[in-house]
Amino acid sequence: MPTLVENTGQSKVSAIHELGRADFISVRDFNFFYGKKQSLFDINMDIPEKQVTAFIGPSGCGKSTLLRNFNRMNELIEGVHHSGEIQLVGKSIFDRNVEVIALRRTIGMVFQKSNPFPKSIYENVVYALRISGQTKKSLLDDCVERSLRGAALWDEVKDRLHESALGLSGGQMQRLCIARAIANRPKVLLMDEPCSALDPIATVKVEELIRELKQEFTIIIVTHNMQQATRCSDRTAFFYLGKLVEYDNTHKIFSNPSEKKTEDYITGRFG
């Protein structure tokens, strides 16, 4: 079970698992700055457990910036700072005792462009386990099969696990990256436009996979594809100019939005 690890001299493990929470992730009065430039303004939202939440909005609206704050990826950029709070099951992800590496095991990420390592398919999947010290072959083998099955890739690659991952198709590479992300059994899976570089057939496979994975993981996806949001997500958040304009059940957002800006965006009047 994934945990947030507190760095208090000796590692103190704090379990985060609690089934069924509507506020699995809570964002409160969150502002984010790249140097002096503010990119997110007073974001407030609760993201439910084991559902798919889609972030939509025009380029530069802040949706990817918020996504990358959930596992503190933005801290890799010099000069960034924030105010407000993000909590995972009631615990601040910015708590001084939270180890960032442990947080990123709990909140995995799949990027826009597939980025397999120049290693075998097998070694891509077990990479995180190896660097955490796991060497038992039976456990690694089990992880590889479980993760590749979870990513709907096992049947396609089971006979070439020790071949280079770089020989896979684009869609297979992206599903391999999903397998790698879920190998550590995270509680949350972040996806930043995971289908934008894929052809329609590969996109369908990844979308089907997303719907299956929500049985086990809480998923947040950034997408520019309105149809993809309607097909994959349970809830949708519309961002514009760094502000959360509207956040509701996906069906309501696309059939009866409360805000005119939302309606204008999803009907193609701007963006």
Report whether 98 contacts 9 (CB < 8 A): no
Query: Rounded CA gap, 192 and 109, in Å?
Result: 8
Which parts of the chain have pLDDT scores under 70?
1-20, 271
**Residue 271 confidence (pLDDT):** 63
**Residue 14 confidence (pLDDT):** 37
Query: Rounded CA gap, 88 and 47, in Å?
Result: 10
**Residue 20 confidence (pLDDT):** 60
What is the DSSP track for 239-250?
A: EETTEEEEEEEH
**Residue 4 confidence (pLDDT):** 54
**Residue 232 confidence (pLDDT):** 94
pTM for the full model? Answer: 0.88
Pairing of strands 218-222, 52-56: parallel
Task: Annotate 238-271 with b (16+ C-beta within 10 A) or e (fewer).
Answer: bbbebebbbbbebeebbeebeeebbbebbeeeeb
**Residue 179 confidence (pLDDT):** 95
Q: In the block, which residue shows the tokens 């609690």? A: 18
**Residue 128 confidence (pLDDT):** 86
The pair of structure tokens assigned to 66 is: 């918020």
**Residue 21 confidence (pLDDT):** 80
